[in-house]
């Protein structure tokens, strides 16, 4: 019998204990041994739990317990779980965590400390979708050319509502908050930080890149308006919040931002709270993995899959590569990324304005792919919408600054990156 | 250094050798050891190969070679590879196979013979998509409620052309043959047999069902016409060749047939030669795995993923369950499946005909969900199209027989199952 201790018995922790009990038949058949939830650590012992598991308010009771084989960390936060996971590992206990923030900051130290002790984290990215397993095992013969993921269900729910039902950003945010999809302070989701933590984990598996959140472009969906949604559609695009990791020679781009993607791509068809990760391998071509990215049971499904792998005695290199064999790729600076752009700007409705905008872009070596001019609601103004050919982010930023300095251009220029 | 022998150096075998050489950097980093293709067995030594590998025309040179650690079986056929794989296993060599026919017939005997020696087969189902890994590992905490897969790229290519471009069946078959997607004798693909072999493998992983092709419903796309495609669309459906495995109480339905599926489901959006498998787990909900189902490099990607797992020392129960712990579910008879149906029939255009058709269906306890009447090209005839609520296959077959016996009904009744 394998005994599991759970640090943090909230929604996911309850599901882990419940599924270990309710699906014990299939879990034992697949793992070859019985697996039982033995003890959970919680902050408030008096709170009623939806599952029958012994509780303690001292996490040390779990990580120092000689009877416990596997520690599941579902606490949230970074430093306290980091301390406890390190201690559990040094006590020789296998660890399963769903904590993406912990891994976004400390995955390389944890890999070092874990050594040959399993430290698994399938649930940390895209909930129930076995994307870590796919990158670590299923696609391991490939150089990964790119990863593009819808990894935040809150943002995808909001964008879907904006696109399909024409709801305004503020209204859909309020609705998402009422449904419990978004927090009272939604910044972590709508600002792209949650997706960024997940992307950093995938970037390690695919490229061996040791980056922190502050090293990569992180933007959210909070500047997307109905106008952008409508014009995107006229250009044949959907808007999604994507986490993108992509190889460019010896460099790797990593970035999270609202992105225009062709309407007919598979990932554009992923609606509502669902997640999906598209992975291009140099040999396999495009693969896509779709499913529930959050929720207690879906996340617990991934946690327990890891537990079963540990019980089977399986282990793969925690971050995809054997420790001594890093990939040698390096993270590109935020300004070095190269992509196509959508630009929206409001200009005065007089002759020569379009020419001056186009020539400004030209000065920075940016060539226009398509253009649309629409009357603005305000009299005497028009909206110009461009999509550009590929150019370096640095040039695009300089060009936008230059455009904003033109007398005829209003100051609010929207830029959304395009991914084909 | 790990040495690999390849039985069958055709398209996939060449790709395996080529990728082991060309991607040796990433493969060594991920596996922790160098992996080299050492020897290939072929029928015709004089034929030029696209890769530099030593060749023999005697497969025994590989399976009895003490220097070879892993045998890759890519021969095709059933009995000869069965003999060789058994011998390789009893020589203590790990085996990787992409041979779905071999597994469709002999997977349980092979599991028995393999014992603790790894016998992996990721490439046997849906080519480069790591669906075996997903079922064996990633979703292992779940009771699987259903599997619905587009697992034959030839059929999906043909149906996509029929649906999107209105091409007739015979023309699109000819085109598929010219492009090399379909064989001169296309029966194995368009008759559903290839998909059935794959479904049987997934059925073992999900349900522990030991079935052979003759035990399950296998139909193809060869009776699908443009009329069906058009009317399906009017009812809000796409037509796909699906392999379906589904739990119903203690029974499991397994079947391969052209299927009407709602246009807005993710799997309906999978076009062209691409494959996808949708898996519903009782905890994770729907997951979907998408990618290239065929082609040398994509299939080799899966073969090499298995090789890397073996080199890492990983092994999971070959068919998902520990040998002594089968699932206890049993395969339902072909007549016991329960689903919704689409029925197309041509009738004489006179009063009372619709009533007699409806009352015949009623006699067999079949209730109509929706109905469409269209004039036929032939004068004095009309086309009736129904979709029904759920009923047992047995009743539906009897009802169709009874309908065909009505004087006013022409004999060609088309029945297509619906899956929601």
Partners of residue B281 in chain A, C-beta under 8 Å: 128, 301
Q: Does A67 map to a domain?
A: no
Euclidean distance between CA atoms A342 and A22, whole angstroms: 50
Q: Which of B15, B28, B143 is opposite residue A26, by nearest beta carbon?
A: B143
Query: Do B137 and B275 lie in a common domain?
Result: yes
Q: Is the pLDDT of residue B324 over 70?
A: no
Partners of residue B266 in chain A, C-beta under 8 Å: 269-270, 290
Query: Do B14 and B104 lie in a common domain?
Result: yes
Partners of residue A29 in chain B, C-beta under 8 Å: 208, 321-322, 325-327
Instruction: Calculate the alpha carbon distances from A115 to A93, A240, A338 in Å.
Output: 12, 38, 37
Return the structure tokens found at B360.
Answer: 């015949």
- Residue B289 backbone zone (phi > 0: left; psi -120 to 50: alpha; other: beta): beta
Catalytic residue among A93, A100, A198, A246: A198
pLDDT (tens digit, 9 = 90+) per residue, B34-58?
999 999 999 999 999 989 999 999 9
Q: Check residue B370 and give its pLDDT.
A: 92
pLDDT (tens digit, 9 = 90+) per residue, A24-68?
999 999 999 999 999 999 999 999 998 999 999 999 999 999 999
Element (H, E) at B35: strand B35-41
Q: Please count the helices (runs of H) and the strands (runs of E) in chain A.
A: 14, 18
Mean per-residue pLDDT for A145-164? 97
Query: Do B196 and B252 lie in a common domain?
Result: yes
Partners of residue A30 in chain B, C-beta under 8 Å: 140, 317, 320-322
Query: Do B206 and B243 lie in a common domain?
Result: yes
pLDDT confidence bin for A325, thresholds 50/70/90: low
Task: Residue B389: give its domain's CATH number.
Answer: 3.30.70.260
Sign of the CA dihedral running A99, A104, A110, A111: positive
Q: Which of A30, A285, A303 is opposite residue B291, by nearest beta carbon?
A: A285
Q: Does A76 map to a domain?
A: no
In Å, how far is A204's CA from the nearest CA of chain B? 12
Instruction: Say if CB B69 and CB B2 are below 8 A apart.
Output: yes
- The answer to whether the CB atoms of B286 and A291 lie below 8 A apart is yes
Return the structure tokens found at B84.
Answer: 């060789």
Q: Check residue A412 and give its pLDDT.
A: 82
Euclidean distance between CA atoms A353 and B30, whole angstroms: 55
Mean per-residue pLDDT for A351-357? 91
- The answer to whether the CB atoms of B301 and A129 lie below 8 A apart is no
In Å, how far is A349's CA from the nearest CA of chain B? 42
Query: Do B258 and B382 lie in a common domain?
Result: no
Query: Do B6 and B108 lie in a common domain?
Result: yes
Q: pLDDT above 90 covers what percent of chain B?
A: 90
Partners of residue B308 in chain A, C-beta under 8 Å: 137, 140-141
Q: Is the pLDDT of residue A323 over 70?
A: no
Query: Do B98 and B150 lie in a common domain?
Result: no
Q: Does A243 map to a domain?
A: yes
Q: What is the ipTM of this complex?
A: 0.96
Euclidean distance between CA atoms B198 and B126, whole angstroms: 8
Q: Check residue B64 and give its pLDDT.
A: 98
Mean per-residue pLDDT for A101-106? 98
**Which of A24, A30, A144 is most worth mutating to test chain B (most B CB atoms within 10 A of its CB)?**
A30
Q: Which residues contact B324 (CB under 8 A, 6 or more apart)?
A: none
- The answer to whether the CB atoms of A287 and B285 lie below 8 A apart is no
To the nearest whole number, what is the mean pLDDT of chain B?
95
- End-of-domain residue from the set A290, A319, A348: A290
Instruction: Calculate the alpha carbon distances from A363 to A30, A67, A358, A360, A391 in Å.
Output: 63, 69, 9, 5, 13
Query: Do B103 and B157 lie in a common domain?
Result: no
In Å, how far is A198's CA from the nearest CA of chain B? 18
In Å, how far is B29's CA from the nearest CA of chain A? 5
**Residue B331 phi, psi (nearest 5):** -70, 130
Which residue spans within B295-403 are E strands per DSSP? 330-331, 338-348, 368-375, 381-388, 391-392
Identify the CA nearest to B81 among candidates B68, B65, B98, B64.
B98
Partners of residue B326 in chain A, C-beta under 8 Å: 29
Euclidean distance between CA atoms B158 and A66, whole angstroms: 60
- Residue B78 backbone zone (phi > 0: left; psi -120 to 50: alpha; other: beta): alpha
Euclidean distance between CA atoms A222 and A297, whole angstroms: 29
Q: Check residue A417 and give its pLDDT.
A: 98
pLDDT confidence bin for A364, thresholds 50/70/90: very high
Secondary structure class of B411 (helix, strand, coil)? coil
pLDDT confidence bin for B379, thresholds 50/70/90: confident
Task: Residue B155: give its domain's CATH number.
Answer: 3.30.360.10
Mean per-residue pLDDT for B166-186? 93
Q: Which of A31, A138, A269 is opposite residue B133, by nearest beta carbon?
A: A138
Return the structure tokens found at A58.
Answer: 């001292």
Query: Do B48 and B101 lie in a common domain?
Result: yes
Q: Check residue B327 and give its pLDDT.
A: 74
Q: Check residue B338 and give its pLDDT.
A: 97
Q: Does B304 map to a domain?
A: yes
Closest-CA residue of B relative to A290 is: B288
**Which of A11, A21, A125, A141 is most worth mutating to test chain B (most B CB atoms within 10 A of its CB)?**
A141
How many of the other CB atoms lie within 10 Å of CB of B36?
14
Q: Is the pLDDT of residue B325 over 80?
A: no
Q: Does A31 map to a domain?
A: no
pLDDT (tens digit, 9 = 90+) per residue, B89-100?
999 999 999 999
Give A49-60 as a DSSP string: -SS---EES-TH
Mean per-residue pLDDT for B308-326? 87
Q: What is the number of structural domains in chain A?
A: 2
Instruction: Calculate the alpha carbon distances from B165 to A9, B186, B292 in Å.
Output: 54, 21, 22
- The answer to whether the CB atoms of A143 and B31 lie below 8 A apart is no
Partners of residue A140 in chain B, C-beta under 8 Å: 26-27, 30-31, 304-305, 308
- Which range marks the domain in which residue A360 is found? 334-418
Q: Check residue B378 and give its pLDDT.
A: 78
Catalytic residue among B100, B148, B161, B198: B198
Q: Is the pLDDT of residue B66 over 90?
A: yes
Task: Residue B305: give its domain's CATH number.
Answer: 3.40.50.720
Structure-token match 């009317």, residue found:
B231
- What is the separation of C-alpha A180 from the centre of its chain, rounded to a whole number of angstroms? 19
pLDDT confidence bin for A138, thresholds 50/70/90: very high
Q: Is the pLDDT of residue A324 over 70?
A: no
**Residue A253 phi, psi (nearest 5):** -85, 135
- The answer to whether the CB atoms of A27 and B312 lie below 8 A apart is no
Name which residue leads in pLDDT, A315 or A64.
Answer: A64
Q: Does A71 map to a domain?
A: no
Annotated catalytic, A198?
yes
Q: Is the pLDDT of residue B354 over 80?
A: yes
Closest-CA residue of B relative to A329 is: B26
In Å, how far is A233's CA from the nearest CA of chain B? 19
**Which of A124, A131, A250, A291 is most worth mutating to test chain B (most B CB atoms within 10 A of its CB)?**
A291
Query: Do B179 and B60 lie in a common domain?
Result: no
Sign of the CA dihedral running B315, B140, A292, B300: positive
pLDDT (tens digit, 9 = 90+) per residue, A371-409?
998 887 778 899 999 999 999 999 999 999 999 999 999
Instruction: Say if CB A75 and CB A91 are below 8 A apart.
Output: no
Q: What is the dihedral of CA B381, B387, B390, B396, to 10 degrees?
A: 20
Mean per-residue pLDDT for B391-397? 97
- The answer to whether the CB atoms of B317 and A30 lie below 8 A apart is yes
- The answer to whether the CB atoms of B322 and A291 lie below 8 A apart is no
Q: Check residue B73 and give its pLDDT.
A: 98
Closest-CA residue of B relative to A130 is: B138
Instruction: Say if CB A302 and CB A289 are below 8 A apart.
Output: no
CA angle B361, B222, B238 (to 5 degrees): 65
Identify the CA nearest to B104 among candidates B120, B85, B124.
B124
- The answer to whether the CB atoms of A316 and B315 lie below 8 A apart is no
Partners of residue B15 in chain A, C-beta under 8 Å: 283
Instruction: Say if CB B9 and CB B42 are below 8 A apart.
Output: yes
- The answer to whether the CB atoms of B322 and A29 lie below 8 A apart is yes
Query: Do B47 and B68 lie in a common domain?
Result: yes
Q: Does B321 map to a domain?
A: no
**Which of B120, B140, B281 is most worth mutating to test chain A (most A CB atoms within 10 A of its CB)?**
B140
pLDDT confidence bin for A231, thresholds 50/70/90: confident
Closest-CA residue of A relative to B280 is: A291
For strands A94-97 and A70-73, give the pairing.
parallel
Structure-token match 């269900």, residue found:
A153
Q: Is the pLDDT of residue A340 over 90?
A: yes
Q: Does B318 map to a domain?
A: no
Secondary structure class of A314 (helix, strand, coil)? coil
Mean per-residue pLDDT for B153-157? 97
Q: Check residue B351 and give its pLDDT.
A: 87
Altogether, the residues listed in chain B come to a count of: 420
Partners of residue B319 in chain A, C-beta under 8 Å: none
Return the structure tokens found at A21.
Answer: 């009990």
Structure-token match 């019980």, residue found:
A311
Query: Do A353 and A243 lie in a common domain?
Result: no
Q: pLDDT above 70 covers what percent of chain B?
A: 99
């Amino acid at each position: 019998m394998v005994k599991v201790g759970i640090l943090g018995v909230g929604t996911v922790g309850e599901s882990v204990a419940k599924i270990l009990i309710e699906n014990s038949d299939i879990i034992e058949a697949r793992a070859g041994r019985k697996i039982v939830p033995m003890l959970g650590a919680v902050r408030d012992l008096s709170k009623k739990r939806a599952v029958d598991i012994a509780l303690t308010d001292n996490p040390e009771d779990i990580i120092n317990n000689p009877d416990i084989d596997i520690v599941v960390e579902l606490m949230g936060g970074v430093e306290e779980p980091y301390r406890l996971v390190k201690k559990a590992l040094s006590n020789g206990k296998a660890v399963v965590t769903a904590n993406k923030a912990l891994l976004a900051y400390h995955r390389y130290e944890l890999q070092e400390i874990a050594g040959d002790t399993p430290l698994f984290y399938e649930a940390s990215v895209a909930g129930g979708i076995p994307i870590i397993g796919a990158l670590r095992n299923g696609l391991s013969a490939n150089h990964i050319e790119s990863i593009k993921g819808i990894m935040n269900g809150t943002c995808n729910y909001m964008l879907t509502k904006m696109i399909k039902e024409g709801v305004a950003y503020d209204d859909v945010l309020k609705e998402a908050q009422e449904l419990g999809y978004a927090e009272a302070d939604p910044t972590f989701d709508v600002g792209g930080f949650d997706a960024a933590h997940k992307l950093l984990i995938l970037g390690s598996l695919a490229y061996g890149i040791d980056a922190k959140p502050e090293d990569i472009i992180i933007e959210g969906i909070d500047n997307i308006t109905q106008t952008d949604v409508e014009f995107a559609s006229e250009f044949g695009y959907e808007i999604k919040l994507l986490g993108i990791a992509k190889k460019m020679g010896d460099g790797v781009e990593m970035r999270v931002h609202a992105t225009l993607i062709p309407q007919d791509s598979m990932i554009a068809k992923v609606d509502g709270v669902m997640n999906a990760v598209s992975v291009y391998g140099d040999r396999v071509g495009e693969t896509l993995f779709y499913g529930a990215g959050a929720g207690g049971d879906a996340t617990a499904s991934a946690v327990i899959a890891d537990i079963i792998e540990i019980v089977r005695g399986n282990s793969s290199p925690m971050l995809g590569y054997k420790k001594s064999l890093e990939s040698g790729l390096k993270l590109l600076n935020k300004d070095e990324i190269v992509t196509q752009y959508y630009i929206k700007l409001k200009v005065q409705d007089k002759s020569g304005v379009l020419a001056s905008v186009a020539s400004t872009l030209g000065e920075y070596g940016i060539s226009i792919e398509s253009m649309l001019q629409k009357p603005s609601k305000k009299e005497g103004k028009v909206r110009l919408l461009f999509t550009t050919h590929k150019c370096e982010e640095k040039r695009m930023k300089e060009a936008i600054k230059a455009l904003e300095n033109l007398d005829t251009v209003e100051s609010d220029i929207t830029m959304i990156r395009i991914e084909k």
